[in-house]
Structure 1
Amino acid sequence: MTPKIFVDQLGTSHSFVTSPKRIISLVPSQTELLCDLGLESKIVGITKFCVHPYSLKSTIKAVGGTKKVHYEKIRLLQPDIIICNKEENTKEIVTELQKICPVWVTDIITIEDNFKMISDFGQLFNCRIEAKKWNDKIAFAWNDFKLFIKDFPVKKVAYFIWKDPFMVAGSGTFIDELLKLNHFENCYSNRGRYPEIKLQNMALENNPDLVFLSSEPYPFQEKHVYEINENAPQAKTILVDGEMFSWHGSRLLKAFAYFKQLH
């Protein structure tokens, strides 16, 4: 059989004679997408952070996290392909994994990138119909949300992802893309992707209307709201679901409904 050539979102070409049958996913949101595309039975390895669907944790072997993986466990699973993401997994991890089998790397900054990833998976894993269904559902919800949000005023927001040191989401991130879609002006869009900030300077330098404390990667809780309020008393501080703002893939469909509730 003649091999088929597929190109991932970093421009790397991959050659497969048949569709990959043994998949390891090192990206939680993409693990969820693979399952939603009907590929759960082909997944042989996941990260300890792959929590959706919940049943995976008891049936599929964990091979580490997103930043630190167990290469020997991965090798013993004899994967046909390993799914990574430019932001979630380091270049060093990808390079080492390439010694085991082809590594497919996604790069998701925009919603259009998300559509492309789903289409790519449809081609790669021979599930084009399911991929098109998901893209159609997401496109419908996206257009519906744009109509919902079109008359909402723009508000300045600081989106926190980490504590000690405090870090926020900046520009060139999927989070920033979804903030803009929600008519939120990112206070830290001029500071790089994930800048460290000094909490005591936030009100003076940026004066946000809203402060979002994400549930991941750092699990902000109610007790942290008071610390933020002391430094930015003019802003309304809200605990938000980090999966809705940072998970790409099929999770985006649920995110649009969540954003409506948030507003």
Structure 2
Amino acid sequence: MKDHRKSVTDQMGNKVDVPANPERIISLVPSQTELLFDLGLEKALVGVTKFCIHLNPQVREKIKIGGTKKFHFDRITQLAPDLIIGNKEENYREGIERLKRFYPVWMSDISNLEDNRMMITAVGQICNRPSQAHSITGRIDKLLHNFEPVTNKSVLYFIWRKPFMAVGGGTYIHEILNLCGFNNVMHKYTRYPELSADQIKAYNPEVILLSSEPYPFKAQHIAEFESLCPNAKILLVDGEMFSWFGSRLIKALPYFQQLKPLLH
């Protein structure tokens, strides 16, 4: 019997021929792994990254195909996926291009809330879970409708140390900062600009947010920033809440509200 397939377009504008009913899915991004579980696709999900470890006890049982920036192609070959789901920002182009020669690879590209909504809907349609996807976007829409900004203060959001790297405009984290009411002082810069200690002093933000990922900022790093911006409110924050797209917004929006009393 001939395998039924359908042609879809991913968020990078690429045409992808996917099975009508994907049964062996590999996820190359932790946040999208979480979404696949929330869509009820845990049985079809055969491979995940080494960073997909704590979302659900069942995810630990899945074969690890490497990291988001370095794939173990031999393991992927053994898994014989009929659909691979990746992300432009999280994954590396060379690896994705190699995978595309052998498998259907659907790529997300997310820099704002609408992109995220479209991704959830698209993955639900591709994987025959449209009603589950609609339920997730409906919950997110309701939370967004009732969401109130937590502050109006200027902010620097750091993702790395040595060198210092902050979040610029055009990123999903920047979109989330805007949603929360922050004025991102790096909004004129794209992606993740490097900053010197003197530049941090000059920007003198009212708030400094130290993310738990990809650099694991801890309490001992707070003093370093206090010396640069003694008047700033400095908080350690859960980077997953700010950077993970997909269904994570359902947990993230209440989390942001919990930050409000810490900012005043």
TM-score where L is the length of structure 2: 0.94
Matched-pair identity in % = 47
1:181 corresponds in structure 2 to 179
Of residues 220, 223, 226, the one that matches 2:223 is: 226
Deviation at 1:191, TM superposition (A): 2.2
1:118 corresponds in structure 2 to 120
The 5 A counterparts of 1:45-194 are 45-145=47-147, 148-149=148-149, 154-194=152-192
Equivalent pairs, count: 258
**Deviations for 1:132-158, whole angstroms, at most 9, x for unmatched residues?**
00000000001110xx22xx6521000
User: Is the contact between residue 10 and residue 106 of structure 1 (CA under 8 Å) also seen in structure 2?
Assistant: yes
Of residues 3-12 and 233-242 in structure 1, the stretch that sits farther from structure 2 once superposed is 3-12
AA of the residue aligned to 2:11 = Q
**Deviations for 1:197-239, whole angstroms, at most 9, x for unmatched residues?**
11232122x1200000000001000000000100111111100
**Secondary structure at the residue paired with 1:230?**
helix
Q: Could you say if the C-alpha distance between residues 165 and 102 of structure 1 is closer, same or farther in structure 2, counting changes exceeding 3 Å? A: same
- For structure 1, the residue ranges without an aligned partner over 5 or more in a row are none
Of residues 234, 237, 242, the one that matches 1:237 is: 234
> Aligned partners of 2:244 and 2:15: how far apart in 1?
25
> Aligned partners of 2:22 and 2:133: how far apart in 1?
16
**Secondary structure at the residue paired with 2:174?**
helix
Deviation at 1:85, TM superposition (A): 0.2
> Aligned partners of 1:56 and 1:174: how far apart in 2?
28
**RMSD across aligned positions (CA):** 1.3
**Secondary structure at the residue paired with 2:66?**
coil
Deviation at 1:13, TM superposition (A): 1.2
Of residues 237-246 and 18-27 in structure 1, the stretch that sits farther from structure 2 once superposed is 18-27
Deviation at 1:9, TM superposition (A): 0.4
TM-score where L is the length of structure 1: 0.95
Of residues 246-255 and 91-100 in structure 1, the stretch that sits farther from structure 2 once superposed is 91-100
Deviation at 1:122, TM superposition (A): 1.3
Deviation at 1:182, TM superposition (A): 0.8
- For structure 2, the residue ranges without an aligned partner over 5 or more in a row are none
Of residues 255, 258, 261, the one that matches 2:258 is: 261
Deviation at 1:59, TM superposition (A): 1.0
> Aligned partners of 2:136 and 2:151: how far apart in 1?
30
> Aligned partners of 1:52 and 1:19: how far apart in 2?
27
